[in-house]
Homo-oligomer: A and B are copies of this chain.
Amino acid sequence: MHTFQEITRKFESFLEQETIFPDTPAHLYDPCRYILEAGGKRIRPALCLMAAELFGTLSSSAFHAAAAYELFHNFTLIHDDIMDHAPLRRGRKTVHEQYGMATGILSGDVMSIYAYRALAGVDSDCLPQILQLFNRTAIEVCEGQQLDMDYEQQDEISVAEYLHMIRLKTSVLLAACLQSGAILSGASIQEQQLIYEFGINLGLAFQLQDDYLDTFGKNEQTGKQQGGDIIAGKKTILWVEALQSADTASKAALLQTTALSGNEKIVETIALYDSLQIASKARKLIHEITEKSLTCLKELKQDESRKRPLQELTSLLLERKY
């Protein structure tokens, strides 16, 4: 079995050898190289490869599927950053800021096709099933991004709606990576379902943790401005939960914070969160979902030693204090 570090190292060298974008047209492919070389944690391909090794071996097909998911993920980052007008990503200018919007759109498009080109490298026996899963997931990710944009325009959404949105926007891709690895190692339908469900809950817990840490995490560890989500007026689990559990007066007070700015906005919002015990509610929810995720892993009959890399990755992702 390989650790997260070992597996990502293997994946990097596969990616370098296999996904060689042509030199020209440079305006099309330079942005693709730019975003891929900026790194990222390679969580998605690692999940695909770890699932392949949990149920079998690290086949060439598994590496192709892993590359497909990583390319698809990077394509969505390029386009999401355009839609969200984001200036920075991974500490560098976003693709459209660096190269212009038209190039950002087109480079994203071609990268999504390279994802399918990588996918076409999986064993032809498994190709129809893998392609179908990939398509369904990719459609769900687009739907999640649309819901995210829709919800930004709505005054109030429920916790259930918020969870549904992040399930589509984040979780299904992690889950599909895992299921694809499982399929390629010949896992049974039941095993596929368990590893998919593990991924769904891992993704939800990870996103909720992200929301939590942005407001309640320690500033010096994230490197981000504490309360960045509050300043930006982002809908997070904290905001959604607060509005849902507030009485009329607290609700009015919460909505009044949207007119504030700067440090005052952060302080006022956190004070309201504290009065509603939002931090502990959020921690409880994250804990429950993390447990669900680990229960799925436990139900799998494979040796503990085979499960260890996934357990360790889960710890790494969910027990971070920053």
Contact = CB atoms under 8 A, between A and B. Distances in A.
- In the complex, which of the residues A132, A139, A147 has the most CB atoms of chain B within 10 Å of its own CB atom? A139
A240 interface: no
Given A120-B131, A120-B132, A135-B117, A82 B109 contact: no
Interface string A126-140: 011001100110110
Interface of A: 25, 27-28, 79, 82-83, 101-103, 105-106, 108-110, 112-114, 116-117, 120, 124, 127-128, 131-132, 135-136, 138-139, 142-143, 145-147, 149-150
B105 A143 contact: no
B146 A27 contact: yes
A55 to B, nearest CB: 23
Nearest to A76: B109
B110 A28 contact: no
Contacts of A113: 135, 138-139, 142
Nearest to A109: B142
Contacts of A102: 82-83, 149
A91 B53 CA distance: 55
Copies of this protein in the assembly total 2
| A-side interface mostly | helix
B116 A25 contact: no
A128 B139 CA distance: 21
B110 A82 contact: no
- In the complex, which of the residues A27, A114, A138, A142 has the most CB atoms of chain B within 10 Å of its own CB atom? A142
A110 B113 CA distance: 13
- Pick the 4 closest A-B CB pairs, nearest first: A28-B146, A83-B102, A110-B142, A25-B146
Contacts of A114: 139
Contacts of A147: 25
B25 A106 contact: no
Nearest to A124: B128
28 contacts: A25-B147, A25-B150, A27-B146, A27-B149, A27-B150, A28-B143, A28-B146, A79-B105, A79-B106, A83-B101, A103-B149, A105-B105, A106-B142, A106-B149, A109-B109, A109-B112, A110-B139, A113-B135, A113-B139, A114-B139, A116-B116, A116-B131, A116-B138, A117-B135, A117-B136, A120-B131, A120-B135, A127-B127
A28 B140 CA distance: 11
A153 to B, nearest CB: 9
A102 B79 CA distance: 9
A105 B95 CA distance: 15
Contacts of A127: 124, 127-128, 131
